Structure 1
Amino acid sequence: MSAGLVAQYAVIATVVAASLVHALRKLAPKTATRAQAALAATLLRPQRGGFAQRLGRFVQPRGASGDCGDGCGTCGTCGPPPAPTGASSTQPVRFHPRRSK
């Protein structure tokens, strides 16, 4: 196997892995965050070396910052505004008779 073919396979594997990570973060963000936190916890163990510690701090997911940009939704102010009081959010279902031909 030539060196060019090995480089081509390495680039393809990197692109496929990056798109898999991107899809996972888009479609299952909580699962991706949990996996990222588990990887960071493994790398941040005291018996690990300095490089693994730095990599663990880099990989560690960010916590909720408390502003409306992080999407945590704990305060309830980031979503749509609530319906005005007295207004009903449900609408009645109306059945109409068929028209005769």
Structure 2
Amino acid sequence: MSLLLQHVVIGLVVLISVLAVFRKLAPQVSNRWLAAASISFSRSERAGWLRALGQRLQPKQATGDCSDGCSTCGACGTKPPAAAKTEAMPLEFRPRAK
């Protein structure tokens, strides 16, 4: 019994790790998948706890909240000025001193 429990716990840890890496490396795809799951769970014929889960899964970009900084609607104000670009410095290769 304990071996089965160990395998289940390790499987859950690996699954959570893979999902975290996927969200970090492919944020647009994962946000689309979360939005699709959120829409599916938030239907009126679903149970209350499932609708609450759907609301919780909804990506920040889909909420329309001005604090997420998506800047798609232009209502968040002006963007901060971009950092000043510095000129590239050429590399100098010098022979080793003997």
Give TM-score scaled by structure 1 length.
0.65
Query: Which residue in 1 is equivalent to 2:65?
Result: 65
Whether the 8 Å CA contact 1:39–1:56 is kept in 2: the answer is: yes
Match of 2:83 among 81, 84, 89: 81
Match of 1:36 among 12, 34, 57: 34
Please provide the CA RMSD for this pair.
Answer: 2.7
Q: Which runs of 5+ in 1 are unaligned?
A: 84-88, 92-101
Distance in 1, matches of 2:49 and 2:81, equals: 40
Give TM-score scaled by structure 2 length.
0.66
Distance in 2, matches of 1:12 and 1:80, equals: 44
The structure with more radius of gyration: 1
Amino acid at match of 2:47: G
Q: Which runs of 5+ in 2 are unaligned?
A: 89-98
Task: Give the aligned length.
Answer: 82
1:38-95 per-residue CA deviation (whole Å, 9 max, x = no partner) reads 111111111111121111111111235334xx35254672573366xxxxx998xxxx
Name the % identity: 32
